[in-house]
């Protein structure tokens, strides 16, 4: 839950992205046009990242590496008023936040215990809590806070870092569970499809994806 909350909370900047881009000082039309390239980049990186994560079977670095770029983007946006670096930071924000989001959602779904009804309820709760951040997000971008929006950028940076920490914690937990499976011990959730014996997952070579 902490992982997705961190990603979604840092992504609240996209709710008011035109307001952030407008601080570059261009006209309304130009400002709106400048919001397009960051999302085009985010779409491309999201597809490529998800494809590579699926091909390699790796999840952790495909989630955390993009978040490091978002951390850097928020720091740059909060510390400079120069147009070039600020727009560079804005280019990185959507891509850094959402590139690993789909991978994170799939990773969490794969690690939730059986049965399917329990997984579905847990995912619904996680999504509901994660999106609560939209309640306060709109209050962090008053015109008086521009152009750097120090408070908003600082909060978003911290949320991205929180997501990295939660992903790291989840990986450590899954490494421990995989070691238990290596020893032939039963692990909740590690049950082969169609089987009701926990140890069967270990004998069939099931391991949690890292």
pLDDT for residue 121: 84
- pLDDT at residue number 29: 95
Q: What are phi and psi of 43, to 5 degrees?
A: -65, -45
Angle, alpha carbons 141-3-174 (nearest 5°): 170
Q: Which domains does the chain have, with CATH numbers?
A: 2-175 (1.20.1250.20)
Mean pLDDT by 10 residues, the chain (210 residues): 87 90 93 95 96 93 96 95 94 94 89 76 84 84 87 94 94 88 70 48 67
pLDDT of residue 154: 94
Burial-class residue 191 by CB neighbours within 10 Å (0-12, 13-18, 19+): buried
Q: Where are the alpha helices (DSSP H) in 80-186?
A: 83-98, 101-111, 116-130, 134-137, 150-182
pLDDT at 193: 45
Query: Does the pTM exceed 0.85?
Result: yes
């Amino acid at each position: 839950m902490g992982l997705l909350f961190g990603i979604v909370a840092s992504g609240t900047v996209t709710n008011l992205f035109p307001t952030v881009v407008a601080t570059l000082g261009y006209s309304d039309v130009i400002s709106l046009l400048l919001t397009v390239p960051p999302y085009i980049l985010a779409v491309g990186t999201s597809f490529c990242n998800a494809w590579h994560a699926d091909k390699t079977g790796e999840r952790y670095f495909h989630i955390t590496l993009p978040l490091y770029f978002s951390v850097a983007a928020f720091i740059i946006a909060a510390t400079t008023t120069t147009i070039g670096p600020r727009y560079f930071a804005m280019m990185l924000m959507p891509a850094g936040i959402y590139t690993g989001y789909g991978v994170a959602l799939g990773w969490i779904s794969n690690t939730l215990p059986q049965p399917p009804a329990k997984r579905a309820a847990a995912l619904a709760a996680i999504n509901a809590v994660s999106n609560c951040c939209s309640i306060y997000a709109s209050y962090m971008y008053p015109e008086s806070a521009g152009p750097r929006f120090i408070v908003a950028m600082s909060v978003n940076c911290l949320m991205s870092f929180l997501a990295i920490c939660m992903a790291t914690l989840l990986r450590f937990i899954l490494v421990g569970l995989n070691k238990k499976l290596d020893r032939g011990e039963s692990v909740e959730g590690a049950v082969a499809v169609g089987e009701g014996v926990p140890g069967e997952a270990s004998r069939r070579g099931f391991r949690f994806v890292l």
